[in-house]
Amino acid sequence: MKKVIKNGTIVTATDTYQADLLIDNGVINQIGKHLPLDDAEIIDAKGCYVFPGGIDPHTHLEMPFGGTVTKDDFETGTIAAAFGGTTSVIDFCLTNKGETLKSAIETWHAKSKHKAVIDYGFHLQIVEMNDDVLHELPKVIEQEGITSFKVFMAYKNVLQADDETLFRTLISAKELGALVMVHAENGDVIDYLVKKALKQGNTDPIFHALTRPSEVEGEATGRAAILTGLANSQLYVVHVSCADAARKIAEARNNGIDIWGETCPQYLVLDQSYLEKPNFEGAKFVWSPPLREKWNQDVLWNALKTGQLQTVGSDQCSFDFNGQKDLGKGNFSKIPNGGPIIEDRVSILFSEGVKKGRITLNQFVDLISTRAAKLFGLYPRKGTIAVGVDADIVIFDPTVVRTISVETHHMAVDYNPFEGIKVTGEPISVLSRGEFVIRDKKFVGQLGAGQYLKRGKYGASDHSGTTNLV
Ligand SMILES: NC(=O)NCCC(=O)O
Ligand SMILES: [Zn+2]
Ligand SMILES: [Zn+2]
């Protein structure tokens, strides 16, 4: 059935205006005033913003990590995402040395196909570049529409790749039209510092942060940027946590290197002191890179405002406090890294960013949706409000005040790192391709309704977004 969203304020990455939307067959059919209402369901969005569904470019759903598996899978994770105003996620498909890329991708399809309630795509990890991988990569792009490759520069002996692999991945990506993503921390130096700390009996969660100083993130970011320039390629740095790394990205951009940076809500709102909470509660705040000294937050906000960082991903990677995070009691290096963020990404950015005057409303839409669509080959099908695009829409009340809590969140984990933080603004209803997933704050979607997204090549929809609709 057709739908008309009436009386709302439409917000895109560039414009804010009053208009109604006619949705037909899952796409936006008309935008304007006095739209034909016959046969259409009317949805009143008075007092609300109407913006494109969030695109979360960084999730780890049902991912094996640190001897356990992330608690949220494609069912609970995408439901929570939808509650939070996100209508597409791009998840990291992990690979094992010696395994074919095809087999790794099949594993990720099996995890997601019948569970996801919103649309989803995959980035592909490259753990080792060799002739077999090189041979498979064109098929990964053409058949699977996976146009972003992830290289970890940290997690020695687990996920970490060496510089040769990073460099060869950059060269291949340039040839094939893909974007390389890096987790930028110097894994070798961290490994040394961790062993040294443990030998000295320093086992508490705070030593996770102290053994991963911001210099090792800055160094790896700078090294990856230099290799990108040398390969004349393109790079996206995930989860930038600190000034050292943000400045390396800004410097490389000023030197003409095609490099982009993502930060995450946790780095914008929480800080290193959380790792010192008593009774092992600091483990709830263990991410890699770690939370930083508070002053870094101003640098990150400023980088978002000035365009030196371009996206905000969740890095959703959730583990229960009881039964998972506690694997690291007595040894901080065994605390599974990551946290549950997927649901609060959009709200945190609106409340802490727009409401506090740090970014504009249009920048907010760009940061949570449009820019990711452009960088990851989804634009303009996703990431904007225009005639002909998927009707992935958030109806957002900018006045509601709520307190984030594990008691009310929809993620599968037993804590929320933003517990007690008050946010202004909340998604009321969320539509995916014209169908309600969240209606009046209730889940009404369907398991398996999310479609797999084959994505376009890097640069095919140019970053200013001038490609025609396909
Ligand atoms: N970030 C984190 O601590 N966990 C998820 C895995 C990763 O992105 O490095
Ligand atoms: Zn990472
Ligand atoms: Zn991650």
CB neighbours (10 Å) of residue 462?
10
Its sign, for the CA torsion 12, 313, 148, 214, is: positive
Ligand 1 centre to CA of 337 (Å) is: 6
Tell me the residues surrounding ligand 2 (ion) with CB < 5 Å. Answer: 183
| Percent of the chain scoring above 90 in pLDDT | 97
Q: Look up residue 402 and give its two tokens.
A: 């709520």
Q: Look up residue 332 and give its two tokens.
A: 């901080």
| Cβ of 445 below 6 Å from ligand 1 | no
Task: Give the C-alpha separation, 346 to 31, whole Å.
Answer: 24
| Cβ of 58 below 6 Å from ligand 1 | no
Task: Give residue 337's region: left, alpha or beta (phi > 0; psi -120 to 50).
Answer: beta
| Cβ of 337 below 6 Å from ligand 1 | yes
Ligand 1 centre to CA of 436 (Å) is: 31
| Cβ of 288 below 6 Å from ligand 1 | yes
In 3D, which of 368, 429, 425, 370 has the Cα closest to residue 394?
A: 429
| Percent of the chain scoring above 70 in pLDDT | 98
Contact 425, 396 (CB under 8 A): yes
pLDDT tens by residue, 9-43: 999 999 999 999 999 999 999 999 999 888 999 99
Buried b (16+ CB within 10 A) or exposed e, 403-420: ebeeeebbbbbbbbbbee
Contact 245, 237 (CB under 8 A): yes
- Residue with token string 């994770």: 77
pLDDT tens by residue, 159-211: 999 999 999 999 999 999 999 999 999 999 999 999 999 999 999 999 999 99
Is omega for the bond preceding 52 within 30 degrees of 0, making it cis?
no
Cross-strand partners of 10: 17, 50
Residue of minimum CA distance from atom 5 in ligand 1: 338
Question: Does residue 112 carry a pLDDT above 60?
Answer: yes
Question: Does residue 465 carry a pLDDT above 70?
Answer: no
Question: Counting atoms of ligand 1 from 1, which one is nearest the CA of 152?
Answer: 9
Ligand 1 centre to CA of 72 (Å) is: 14
Question: Does residue 125 carry a pLDDT above 80?
Answer: yes
* ipTM of the complex as predicted: 0.99
pLDDT tens by residue, 301-321: 999 999 999 999 999 999 999
Provide the pLDDT for residue 464.
Answer: 46
pLDDT tens by residue, 235-283: 999 999 999 999 999 999 999 999 999 999 999 999 999 999 999 999 9
In 3D, which of 144, 80, 145 has the Cα closest to residue 346?
A: 80
Contact 391, 48 (CB under 8 A): no
CA distances (Å), 26 to each of 265, 391, 392, 433, in order?
31, 6, 8, 4
Minimum-distance ligand to the CA of 151? 2
End-to-end, the C-alpha distance of the chain in Å comes to: 23
Ligand 1 centre to CA of 449 (Å) is: 27
Mutate to test the pocket of ligand 1, among 337, 341, 345, 413 (most ligand atoms within 8 A of CB): 337
Mutate to test the pocket of ligand 1, among 239, 292, 314, 318 (most ligand atoms within 8 A of CB): 239
**pTM for the structure as a whole:** 0.98
Let me know the angle formed at the C-alpha of 346 by 76 and 448, rounded to the nearest 5 degrees. Answer: 30
Provide the pLDDT for residue 466.
Answer: 43
Provide the pLDDT for residue 123.
Answer: 98
Provide the pLDDT for residue 97.
Answer: 93
Task: Give the C-alpha separation, 381 to 351, whole Å.
Answer: 27
Ligand 2 centre to CA of 315 (Å) is: 8
Contacts of 336 (CB under 8 A, 6+ apart): 65, 66, 67, 68, 286, 319, 324, 325, 327, 328
Ligand 1 centre to CA of 304 (Å) is: 21
What rounded mean pLDDT belongs to the chain?
97
* In this structure, CATH architecture of domain 53-383: Alpha-Beta Barrel (3.20)
Task: Give the C-alpha separation, 225 to 248, whole Å.
Answer: 8
Question: Does residue 470 carry a pLDDT above 50?
Answer: no
Mutate to test the pocket of ligand 1, among 56, 58, 60, 159 (most ligand atoms within 8 A of CB): 60
Ligand 3 centre to CA of 28 (Å) is: 32
Question: Does residue 362 carry a pLDDT above 80?
Answer: yes
| Per-residue confidence band for 460, with pLDDT thresholds at 50, 70 and 90 | confident
Q: Domain spans of the chain?
A: 53-383
CB neighbours (10 Å) of residue 345?
27
Residue of minimum CA distance from atom 1 in ligand 1: 288
Ligand 3 centre to CA of 60 (Å) is: 6
